[in-house]
Amino acid sequence: MTDAVTVHHAATEALSFRDHLPALQVLLPLMGAPLCFLLRKAALVSFFTVAISFACLAISLTLLGQTMGGEILIYEFGSWPRPFGIEYRVDITNSFVLVVISLVAAVVFAAGPGQARRSIPVGREYLFYSAALLCLTGLLGVTITGDVFNVFVFMEISSLSSYILIALGRERRALMAAFTYLIMGTIGATFLLIGIGLMYQMTGTLNMVDMAVRLQAVSDTRTILVAVAFVIVGISTKLAVFPLHQWLPNAYSEAPPIVSAFLAATATKVAYYLLLRFTLGLFGAALIFDQIGIDILLMPLSVLAMFVGSIAAIYQTDFKRILAYSSIAQIGYMTLGLSLATEAGVAAGLIHLFNHALMKGGLFMVAACVMWRMGSTHIDVMRGLGQRMPITMAAFVAAGLALVGVPGTAGFVSKWALVTAALENEAFFIAFLIMASSVLAVVYIWRLVEIVYFSEPETDFEVKEAPLRMLIPTWTLAGMTIWFGLFSGFSVEVAEAAAKQLFVGLAGAGA
């Protein structure tokens, strides 16, 4: 890989606006958050937030365009070269994740605070928006940075702001959910920090590339083995890998649906990216798979997550909880991709990262629409909604089919990639399990379809279709699940290129 990679050092050349894009990606929402306090007026702040998130989307798309060919952008803050300064390092993998985050943020923020508005005192809406922008800052920062300590810092920014957002939920239980998430998130972050500390101790650097190069020499010391365990468990907590998933159902179902839509589609995706970055990038595939063999542990846990999540979803009586449990199963598919220890497997994980962000974002947006009109997302209130909110429910069907993996939807592309990756490893049983767990998704989605379309509404009061401001984001996401199901070229190509680059490892990529 060293032969073909062009590494673009922004700091060593004359800087143009274009070269500052990696910094702007994070600084824009970071500066935007306090500016919300100055603007104050709800309508103004809302417009401002949406504008910033769209600007972030534009930046991330540009970055993806620049790195698509395998190029790597390095941005040195204050022109301080490493190891003295912090650098941002953009390659195809993280620019892909940046696009996912900023895309979901732009679409979801455009819908406004939704039901969360009812728990915010009039005139204080700007607080919601600044928390949302800070959360976006943190997620983008974790993804873009090339410095491991910086990862920890940004992760704390995103976590702290997401605790606030979750606590905005309608019920008082939301506070408890946010608190549980806080405890679990802190445990995870601490584990990660311990891991990073151990790595720093052995390498004397915090820069990812330097660290990866130096790690090779010390990869069989006990310190590094301990670091691997801490890092993986720490990220697993954030990623809600079974059995560390228990914070997720409460957090996602008690949070305002808009917040769930944003977090479900981004927070776990960033954690998955981190898992890939640390395992494949820093430690390297040789240490992780050949020497330690984390796949021995990760594969059964992923399969368990697929089944436990889906079966638990079948038993839930609340739409948002069904979605939350289904997320646990979907995360199982992603980690299963990594545990296959092949490029195809990781590519499948990345494809699913992208597709799952779209469909889960879309489904939680549907939940937001239901919540907005009905005041609850209990499945009983969804009886007969097919006639009363036809457009919203059509979006539900589209995104639901994607979740099941029906051909012509994005979900099928993911499943297909994952099954082929499993078959490539001759893991026929795993391939069978993937199919079998998809059947479980049919059960919980079909159960909802039956309630929505084939049962009579409980109450006969008038229910209107959701407002346009929420319908457009909902259908944008639901429509994209269909679009990327039919035209999967973009997501598949990028994910495959990213997987290839990831397997080279940071040490191999040089620079």
Partner 1 sequence: MTESLAPMLPLAAAMPPGMLLMLAAIPVVFLPRTISNIVMLLLPIIGLAQLLALPIGYTDTVAIFDYTLEVTRVDALSRVFGIVFHLAAFMGILYALHVKDRMQAAAALIYVGSAIAAVFAGDLITLFVWWELTALSSVFLIWASRTESALRAGQRYLIIQVTSGLLLLLGAILLHAESGSIVFEHIGLESAGGWFVFMAFGIKACFPLLHGWMKDSYPEATITGTVFLSGFTTKLAIYALARGFAGTEILIPIGATMTAFPIFFAVIENDLRRVLAYSLNNQLGYMVVGIGIGTELALNGAVAHVFAHVIYKALLFMSMGAVLLRVGTVKGSELGGLYKSMPWTTVFCIIGAASISAFPLTSGFVTKSMILTAAADGHYLIPFLILLFASAGVFHHSGIKIPFFAFFAHDRGFRVKEAPLNMLAAMAIAAFFCIGIGVFPGILYKILPYPVEYVPYTTSHVVQMLQLLLFSALAFTFLMKTKLYPPELRSVVLDVDWVWRKLLPEAWSRVAEVWLMGQIAFLSTANKARLRVLDFTSAHLSPWSRLGEPWPTGATAMWAAMLLLAYLYLAFQNLATRPPG
Site residues (vs partner 1, CB under 8 A): 180, 183-184, 187-188, 191, 220, 222, 225-226, 228-230, 232-233, 236-237, 243-244, 246-247, 249-250, 291-294, 296-297, 308, 311-312, 314-317, 321, 406-408, 416, 419-420, 423, 431, 435, 454, 488-489, 492
Largest CA distance in the chain: 71
In angstroms, the CA 8 to CA 325 distance is 42
Q: Would you say 37 or 429 has its CB closer to partner 1?
A: 429
Q: Is 345 helix (H, G, I), strand (E, B) or coil?
A: helix
In angstroms, the CA 177 to CA 116 distance is 15
CB of 11 to partner 1, least distance (A): 38
Q: Would you say 22 or 309 has its CB closer to partner 1?
A: 309
State the CB neighbour count (10 A cutoff) for residue 425: 16
CB of 30 to partner 1, least distance (A): 30
Q: Are 239 and 107 in contact (CB under 8 A)?
A: no
The encoded tokens of residue 300 equal: 């059964």
**Strand 7-9 relative to strand 87-90: parallel, antiparallel, unpaired?**
unpaired
Closest CA to 165 of 178, 176, 156: 178
CB of 297 to partner 1, least distance (A): 6
Half-sphere exposure of 204 (CA within 13 A, CB side): 3
In angstroms, the CA 25 to CA 426 distance is 42
Q: Would you say 321 or 383 has its CB closer to partner 1?
A: 321
Beta bridge partner(s), residue 51:
none
Distance of CA 489 to the CA centre of its chain: 21
CB of 486 to partner 1, least distance (A): 9
CB of 296 to partner 1, least distance (A): 6
CB of 174 to partner 1, least distance (A): 13
Q: Is 510 helix (H, G, I), strand (E, B) or coil?
A: coil
Contacts of 481 (CB under 8 A, 6+ apart): 355, 358, 359, 362, 398, 399, 402, 409, 410, 411
Q: Would you say 132 or 353 has its CB closer to partner 1?
A: 353
Q: Would you say 351 or 478 has its CB closer to partner 1?
A: 351
Q: Would you say 60 or 355 has its CB closer to partner 1?
A: 355
CB of 184 to partner 1, least distance (A): 6
The encoded tokens of residue 12 equal: 């060593």
Q: Is 378 helix (H, G, I), strand (E, B) or coil?
A: strand
CB of 219 to partner 1, least distance (A): 11
Beta bridge partner(s), residue 291:
none
Q: Would you say 109 or 247 has its CB closer to partner 1?
A: 247
Q: Would you say 80 or 432 has its CB closer to partner 1?
A: 432
The encoded tokens of residue 401 equal: 């089919």
Q: Would you say 26 or 492 has its CB closer to partner 1?
A: 492
Radius of gyration of the chain (CA): 22
Q: Are 411 and 355 in contact (CB under 8 A)?
A: yes
CB of 234 to partner 1, least distance (A): 9
In angstroms, the CA 199 to CA 196 distance is 5
CB of 237 to partner 1, least distance (A): 6
CB of 72 to partner 1, least distance (A): 26
The encoded tokens of residue 72 equal: 């790597």
- Whose tokens are 């732009």? That residue is 106
φ, ψ (nearest 5 deg) of residue 318 = -130, 130
Q: Would you say 423 or 511 has its CB closer to partner 1?
A: 423
Q: Is 128 helix (H, G, I), strand (E, B) or coil?
A: helix
Q: Would you say 175 or 225 has its CB closer to partner 1?
A: 225
Which string of b and e fits 259-282 if b means at least 16 CB within 10 Å? bbbbbbbbbbbbbbbbbbbbbbbb
CB of 116 to partner 1, least distance (A): 22
Q: Would you say 15 or 435 has its CB closer to partner 1?
A: 435
